[in-house]
Amino acid sequence: MRPMDAARAPSESGGWQTIGHSAARLYLQRSHEAGRIAHAYLITGPDQVGKRTLALDLARLVNCRPTPDMFGDDLRPPCGRCGPCDRISRDVHADIKVIDPHTPIRGVSTGTRESTEKEDAARTLISINHIREMEHDVHLNPFEGGRRVIIFDGADRMSPDGAGWNALLKTLEEPPEQ
């Protein structure tokens, strides 16, 4: 087995990358199997416990297209092997967006590319512009099929002026049809 194949081989927990949190994984897996995935989840906890990883696993779960393994058995989503699972793992899936304070904002530029990149890196809060961009994105149909997933990594670092929170709450209260 080549090193890349070993890295992509699913573990005992399938394609789940989350370590531990078996109750949360089981809840999400059963909700998915029952066709009862909610339109929003709030994943909380201390820093570095796997919140972002669990959110990405949920994105893999709802977008996975498992194919039979070499024995003809279907893998349970997330399989970790199909195209959508692979693209989510490599952070190149068109329908999955992770927003944190350093996420570049489309259409907002104050100068050269270098100065804009420095501003993105120096930003410490999720701004109203991030929320506006998200509001635009959630109303688009998924490009790759499956479901569009927006992950706020560090929602506690949203701008304290309240405008971002209000805009986000409106979207959560009235989600677009999928």
Dmax over Cα atoms in the chain, in whole Å? 56
Q: What is the pLDDT of residues 9-65, one digit of tens each?
A: 444 456 799 999 999 999 999 999 999 999 999 999 998 999 999 999 999 999 999
pLDDT at residue 85, as a whole number: 93
Instruction: Average the pLDDT over 99-116 and give the result.
Output: 68
Q: What is the mean pLDDT of the chain?
A: 81
The CATH number of the domain covering residues in 1-93? 3.40.50.300
Cα gap 124→102, rounded to integer Å: 7
pLDDT at residue 88, as a whole number: 95
Instruction: Average the pLDDT over 75-100 and give the result.
Output: 91
Lowest mean pLDDT among 10-19, 110-119, 139-148: 110-119
Which of residues 81 and 87 earns the better pLDDT score? 87
Which residues have C-beta within 8 Å of that of residue 56, sequence separation ≥ 6? 17, 88, 89, 96, 98, 151
Which of residues 159 and 115 earns the better pLDDT score? 159
Task: Give CATH 3.40.50.300 domain extents, the chain.
Answer: 1-93
Dihedral sign of CA atoms 125, 129, 148, 144 in order? negative
